[in-house]
Chains A and B, each alone.
Chain A
């Protein structure tokens, strides 16, 4: 191939050409930042097509720069718009959800005030309602805050086995109180360290929400089983399974929606938060509930699975 001076201001074109020539294969480099020597930044798709002669030797390269700056800007505006619409929807739902506890708090507080002013006694159980409903409001707000901040995650390499073990430690006293046992079952094809790219803090919250739900749905003396298995194509599967009351099929598709709760004391945000955390980790979550078994199935992408030798050292 003849030598030519190849220069596009503000684009390190040589780097891309080298890559294409090395592999002798045409390629599109997406969303490359370009300045073209001006202060205005551009985003381009760089299409490098190899030209070969009759002897299958490289004769040249066609470079096409496709300016996609406006398209990207529009996509980002649309994303921002969607986020705002979502936030508006959430604000409307939150204002509806807090009205019922507020009415009970205000109503019983007014009643207590009236009774005290007229020299009458106030029932402790009425004051307890104010306390309990305040706690319910706080839980709604905590979950809502988490819900709106769920995107701010610091990703690190973490061992998912340790995360699950820590979750069980945290929730063990709650399980004991409910007379439910928790077992972790680690698949034999998995090594001692199962590494994913994620936030231990966020994943703990997601798993604890699920384990807590499983404990509450279990009968006394039952076991909540946590299974860790190797999934397809570099993925790990976590199953959280309990016996006991099942989720009705009509509710299965709704349980991850905000403010859907089958529990009288639930905020209806726990599973929504859980699903968001899993999605933020590029994972997936599903639920199956039939006969007397309910199982939440979480799939997360693996960062790296150490080899079988490592597994043999698990002990």
Chain B
């Protein structure tokens, strides 16, 4: 079973992603902030990571670059409520960039394409 790490500081969105991805047949780990997410990444070695950009302790882009320093290959999906980040080239190191939506179809498709 493929392991996905969801790093998101909004409780209800994190739980929604977890429930929906479990239904898709993934093993889902969650983290409520960047620090916790980084520790989970080191400890659990997931197959894919989804990271929210706007988080209190560290921004998701910074966290992605911290992980990329260790692992250049792990698929990372950055997502945010703020569409304007797609113009920011610092987000381009992510495999995919998504604007948050209540319809998780696109997220599920991207995950499938990256780790199947």
Interface hub of B12, B15, B16, B103 (most chain A Cβ within 10 A) = B12
Q: Determine if B81 and A99 form an interchain contact, defined as CB atoms under 8 angstroms apart.
A: yes
Q: How far is the CB of A286 from chain B (nearest CB, A)?
A: 25
In Å, the complex CA distance between A241 and B1 comes to: 54
Question: In the assembled complex, which residues on chain B have CB atoms less than 8 Å from the CB atom of A110?
Answer: 102-104
Q: Determine if A105 and B102 form an interchain contact, defined as CB atoms under 8 angstroms apart.
A: yes
B interface with A by C-beta (< 8 Å): 10-13, 15-16, 19-20, 81-82, 100-104
Q: Using a Cβ–Cβ cut-off of 8 Å, how many residues does chain A contribute to the interface with B?
A: 19
Nearest-neighbor residue (CB-CB) of A105 within chain B = B102
As a 0/1 sequence over residues 103 to 123 of chain A, the CB contacts with chain B under 8 angstroms (1 = contact) are 111111111000000000000
Q: Determine if A104 and B81 form an interchain contact, defined as CB atoms under 8 angstroms apart.
A: no
Q: Determine if B12 and A106 form an interchain contact, defined as CB atoms under 8 angstroms apart.
A: no
Q: Determine if A103 and B82 form an interchain contact, defined as CB atoms under 8 angstroms apart.
A: no
Q: How far is the CB of A216 from chain B (nearest CB, A)?
A: 18
Question: In the assembled complex, which residues on chain B have CB atoms less than 8 Å from the CB atom of A96?
Answer: 81-82
Task: Determine which of A100, A107, A129, A132 lies in contact with B104 in the assembled complex, contact meaning CB atoms within 8 Å.
Answer: A107
Nearest-neighbor residue (CB-CB) of B104 within chain A = A107
Question: In the assembled complex, which residues on chain B have CB atoms less than 8 Å from the CB atom of A17?
Answer: none
Q: Determine if A264 and B11 form an interchain contact, defined as CB atoms under 8 angstroms apart.
A: yes
Question: Beyond A103-B100, A103-B102, A106-B102, is A111–B82 a contact (Cβ under 8 Å)?
Answer: no
Question: In the assembled complex, which residues on chain B have CB atoms less than 8 Å from the CB atom of A109?
Answer: 102
Nearest-neighbor residue (CB-CB) of B102 within chain A = A106
Q: Is A133 located at the chain interface by the 8 A CB criterion?
A: yes
Given contacts A100-B13, A100-B100, A110-B102, 7 further A-B contacts (CB under 8 A): A103-B81, A104-B12, A104-B102, A107-B16, A107-B20, A110-B104, A111-B16
